[in-house]
Amino acid sequence: MATGLLVAAALAAIILTVFGAAERGIDIALQGTARWSFLLFWLAYVGRPSEKLFGAFFHPLAGLGREFGLAFAASMIVHVGLVLWLFYILTGPSGTMMLFWSGIFFTYLLALFSVPALRRALSPLMFGLVFTFGMEFIAFVFATDFILLPLQADTVKHPSGYIPFAIMLVSAAVLRAAAFARSRFSSLLHVVKRT
């Protein structure tokens, strides 16, 4: 968690020092912290599916899913601070950003349920539903920023800079879908063998 927070803070400080703390500098710092946060989220997002599909080689990555998720939540503190600072200095309308704030809500809800005592307050089924929906919703928010918005070329200055992140998101979605399908197929096969 400390690493996620410190890297995001250092990244923001360097960018704001170079480009200034006005709108342009904050915009660049937001892009930098979003990409750093996404990397941490992506590692948490693909860990378990990678282990399910490819075996024990990915066990260390899967085992660190909680830590990567908490590092992502910590790094988002800097990103949220930059968003709030941008709202403060903007003179025109800035919009409500409901999708962004909903993603932040799920980020910290999942971080809250990473505490074992709170997680045990939910049934395993309920926790699984909350966890899966939360992770997929956060991925959807990133997909909106990294795929849908760059397709609107008039709103994004350098859409090609989003291609690596779009590829990472699409590959993660395919990976998670394949792991889910394999898990369901294995369960079905097990039931058939027992009957």
Q: pLDDT tens digit string along 95-114? A: 678 999 999 999 999 999 99
For residue 140, is pLDDT > 90?
yes
Please provide the DSSP assignment of 124-175 as one string.
Answer: HHHHHHHHHHHHHHHHHHHHIIIIIHHHSTTT-S-GGGGHHHHHHHHHHHHH
CB 50 within 8 A of CB 61: yes
| Radius of gyration of the CA atoms of the chain, in A | 19
Mean pLDDT of the chain: 89
Q: Into how many domains does the chain fold?
A: 1
pLDDT reported for residue 147: 85
> Is the model more confident about 35 or about 162?
35
- Other beta carbons within 10 angstroms of residue 179's beta carbon come to 18
In sequence order, what DSSP letters do the residues of 65-134 get, joined into one string?
A: HHHHHHHHHHHHHHHHHHHHHHHHH--S-----HHHHHHHHHHHHHHHTTSHHHHHTS-HHHHHHHHHHH
pLDDT for residue 183: 80
pTM (2 d.p.): 0.88
Q: Are 45 and 139 a contacting pair, CB within 8 Å? A: yes
Q: Percent of the chain, pLDDT > 70?
A: 89
The number of CA neighbours under 13 Å toward the Cβ of 164 is: 6
Structure tokens at 128: 């699984």
141-191: pLDDT as tens digits: 999 988 887 777 665 666 677 889 999 999 999 999 999 888 877 766 666
Task: Give the range of the structural domain holding residue 139, as residue numbers without chain letter.
Answer: 2-194
Asked whether the beta carbons of 176 and 42 are under 8 A apart, the reply is no
Q: Which among 85, 70, 83, 102 has a CA at the least distance from the CA of 5?
A: 70
